[in-house]
Every structure is written in C-alpha cells, then in structure tokens.
C-alpha cells in the first residue's frame, strides 16, 4: 500500500491565510477491508469556499477541523477495490481532500461517482463539468431565471464559475457582460468564451467609475447578476440594475479574510424591487444531473472552453490556494498530483 502525503490544517488564519496555517505529513495507507476502495487522486480542486471553512465561525457548514486533511474535491482512478460498485481503472470524482490517496469507506461510496473521460477531460469534472459549473447553472437557472434578450453580468468572469455562467447565459439568448481583473482575462472572456463585453475592474478606482463603464457595456441596464466578489463590483452593478432585477450571490471573496464587506447602496434593493438571493449548491443535489448534462453538452460541442491554472505536485497546494485568493489564477485552479 502506498505512502500518502497529506496537507492538514495546522492553525486558523488571523486575517489573511498563510503557508504556516498548513502542515504536510506522510501517513501509511492500511490494507483495504471489505467494502473499501483505494483511489489515487490525479487532480485536486482549489476553491475560494475553502478559506471560509478555515475559520471557526458560524457558517453554512462545519469549520475545517484542526489537524485533519484539508477539504477539497478530487478526481482520480480506482487502484484497488473491495466494493462491488467500483473496479480498478474506474475514473471517479469526489471529496478526497488535499492528499494523494483516499480510502473510501462503504458509507462514503455513494458520495463518489464514476466519470466518462472519453469525451470530457478528467480535470474538467472539477471545474466546468463539476461543482463550479453546477454552481453557475443553479444561480442562473433557479435564481436569475434569464429570458432571451436580457442582460446578465458576472464578476470573476474568467474563473471556473464565471466562465460557465457566461456560456450558459449566451446559450439562452442573453447579452452577457463579464467583470474580471486584467486585460488578459477580459480578452479570454470575450474572444474565447463569447461574452459580449468584459470590464477590467482594476482600471477603476471606485464603484461610480465602474458603474459608468457598465452603463456603456449594458445600454439596456442589467436584468440579472451573478456575484462572486462583492464590494466595489457589487456596488457598481447595483447602480445599473433594472427594476425587478435578480442577483444570485455565490461568493464574497472580498471578505474571505474576515473583513466586513459593506454594501454602499442597500436602498436600491427596495427602490428597484430587486431579488438578492444567496445559495449553497450542495443543498440542491436534485439539480445536479440536469446541470451536469447541460454542461457536458457545451464542452463536447466546443462552446465552453474552460481555462485551467495547474500547479504541479502536492507540495504546491498551499501556495496555489493563497494565490487563488489574491486572483493570481487564470481560470480553474487545480493541483496535478501525478
């Protein structure tokens, strides 16, 4: 049985997370018992939600326990199996955590699923055809509920969630405007993903300036918005929302270090009768099959070209994660483990 390298949460961050919050350890993998499955992870997913789980604070899920393997999605291959549902060579996706191997217990196997890599690359099941893609689908279809001809905006537009959101909205006949950090990301969003426009928020010093740019990019106003960031971006968008607009709140990366994220114009929620709704995609598992099918079709048809930032080796996970929180990634952030 292989030696397993694992990243544990060593301490809770004080404001910004740092490398010292993590500890890399080696552990021996015991022989399999009846009903267990050994999976070797090929890729680890890094996602902003992990930062919130590092805090010992009230949230929608329990905090990451100290001294335990960091939570995270993985894709990999079954190496050994003593369970009838899985066989060596099967490619699988699940919550394997920041480690090179997982042993699935009998009561865990239903939380893992086999994936088809003949038409969709394995790594995509952690991004466009995985949790981020389903997050985009749910926020768009269940909260924004777009109609053809409407204008939809999305922050962090070049990321795993934002890119899927834009392509899904375009496929439903919407005008789609992205907001991203940097000209390279904006060029990718427009030229490769097919957004109608993209604004580089780094070019604007305040919400009013960004809002003026949104006025040009969204001449008919904004009907639906998908929020990943908060702060200046959300303020600017709210100034351009049409009456009865819908805002799906997926993330608030501007506040993941524990700082407050003020909203400058809350009165607009009342004036424009806005629907502002947060959601957690894991609470809506009934929608995952239809969402994954729709996302797979877009990838296979060549309409969704997800960009990936790939760090090499388990050792690189903390640095890649900290870079993600600072917007240094381009597209879905992964760690390649083999």
pLDDT of residue 264: 94
Please check whether residue 64 is in contact with residue 9, taking contact to mean a CB–CB distance below 8 angstroms.
yes
Q: How far apart are CA 32 and CA 1, in angstroms?
A: 9
Same domain as 278, residue 139: yes
Same domain as 322, residue 216: no
Q: What are the CA-CA distances from residue 170 to residues 174, 185, 287 (Å)? A: 5, 18, 20
pLDDT of residue 170: 97
Q: How far apart are CA 71 and CA 259, in angstroms?
A: 23
pLDDT classification of 75: cutoffs 50, 70, 90? very high
**274 lies in which domain range?**
131-282
Here the CATH number for the domain that contains residue 157 is 3.40.50.720
Domain-embedded: residue 162: yes
Please check whether residue 269 is in contact with residue 102, taking contact to mean a CB–CB distance below 8 angstroms.
no
Task: Please determine, for residue 299, whether its predicted confidence score (pLDDT) is greater than 90.
Answer: yes
Q: What percentage of the chain carries pLDDT values higher than 90?
A: 88
Same domain as 263, residue 176: yes
pLDDT of residue 107: 87
Task: Please determine, for residue 9, whether its predicted confidence score (pLDDT) is greater than 90.
Answer: yes
Domain-embedded: residue 14: yes
Lowest mean pLDDT of 63-67, 106-110, 229-233, 297-301, name the range. Answer: 106-110
pLDDT classification of 187: cutoffs 50, 70, 90? very high
Q: Which residue has the tokens 């995609």?
A: 281
Domain-embedded: residue 290: no
Same domain as 244, residue 262: yes
Domain total in the chain? 2
Task: Please determine, for residue 255, whether its predicted confidence score (pLDDT) is greater than 80.
Answer: no
Same domain as 263, residue 142: yes
Same domain as 151, residue 79: no
Domain-embedded: residue 293: no
Binning the chain into helix, strand and coil, the percentages to the nearest 5 are 35, 25, 40
Q: How far apart are CA 337 and CA 74, in angstroms?
A: 10
pLDDT of residue 45: 97
Average pLDDT over residues 288-312: 94
Q: How far apart are CA 268 and CA 275, in angstroms?
A: 11
pLDDT of residue 120: 95
pLDDT classification of 10: cutoffs 50, 70, 90? very high
Helix, strand, or coil here: 139?
helix
Domain-embedded: residue 108: yes
Q: How far apart are CA 304 and CA 193, in angstroms?
A: 7
Please check whether residue 105 is in contact with residue 138, taking contact to mean a CB–CB distance below 8 angstroms.
no
Domain-embedded: residue 296: no
Q: How many CB atoms lie within 10 A of CB 184?
A: 12
Q: How far apart are CA 59 and CA 63, in angstroms?
A: 8
Task: Please determine, for residue 59, whether its predicted confidence score (pLDDT) is greater than 80.
Answer: no
pTM of the model: 0.91
Please check whether residue 210 is in contact with residue 233, taking contact to mean a CB–CB distance below 8 angstroms.
yes
Average pLDDT over residues 197-201: 97
pLDDT of residue 286: 96
Average pLDDT over residues 322-335: 92
Task: Please determine, for residue 57, whether its predicted confidence score (pLDDT) is greater than 90.
Answer: no
Task: Please determine, for residue 20, whether its predicted confidence score (pLDDT) is greater than 80.
Answer: yes
Domain-embedded: residue 295: no
Same domain as 225, residue 163: yes
Q: How far apart are CA 183 and CA 185, in angstroms?
A: 5
């Amino acid at each position: 049985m292989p030696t397993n390298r694992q990243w544990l949460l060593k301490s809770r961050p004080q404001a910004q997370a740092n490398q010292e919050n993590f500890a890399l350890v080696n552990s021996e993998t015991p022989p399999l018992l009846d009903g267990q499955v050994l999976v070797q992870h090929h890729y680890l997913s890094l996602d902003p939600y992990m930062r919130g789980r590092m805090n010992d604070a009230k949230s929608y899920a329990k905090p990451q326990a100290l001294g335990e393997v960091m939570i995270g999605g993985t894709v990999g291959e079954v190496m050994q199996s003593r369970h009838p549902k899985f066989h060596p060579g099967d490619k699988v996706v699940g919550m394997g955590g920041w480690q090179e191997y997982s042993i699935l217990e009998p009561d865990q196997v239903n939380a893992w699923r086999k994936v088809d890599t003949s038409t969709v690359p394995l790594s995509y099941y952690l991004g466009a055809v995985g949790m981020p893609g389903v997050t985009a689908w749910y926020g768009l279809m269940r909260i924004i509920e777009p109609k053809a001809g409407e204008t939809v905006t999305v922050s962090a537009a070049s990321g795993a969630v934002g890119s899927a959101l834009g392509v899904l909205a375009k496929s439903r006949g919407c005008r789609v405007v992205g907001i991203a950090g940097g000209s390279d990301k904006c060029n990718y969003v427009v030229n490769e993903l097919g957004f109608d426009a993209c604004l580089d928020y780094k070019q604007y010093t305040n919400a009013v300036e960004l809002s003026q740019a949104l006025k040009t990019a969204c001449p008919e106003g904004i009907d639906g918005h998908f929020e990943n960031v908060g702060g200046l971006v959300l303020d600017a968008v709210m100034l351009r929302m049409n009456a009865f607009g819908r805002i799906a709140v997926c993330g608030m990366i501007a506040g993941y270090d524990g700082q407050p994220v003020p909203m400058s114009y809350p009165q607009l929620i009342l004036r424009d009768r806005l629907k502002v709704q947060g959601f957690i995609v894991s609470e809506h598992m009934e929608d995952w099959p239809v969402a994954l099918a729709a996302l797979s079709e877009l990838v296979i048809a060549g309409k969704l070209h997800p960009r990936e930032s790939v760090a090499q080796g388990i050792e690189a996970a903390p640095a890649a994660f900290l870079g993600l929180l600072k917007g240094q990634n381009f597209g879905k952030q992964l760690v390649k483990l083999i």
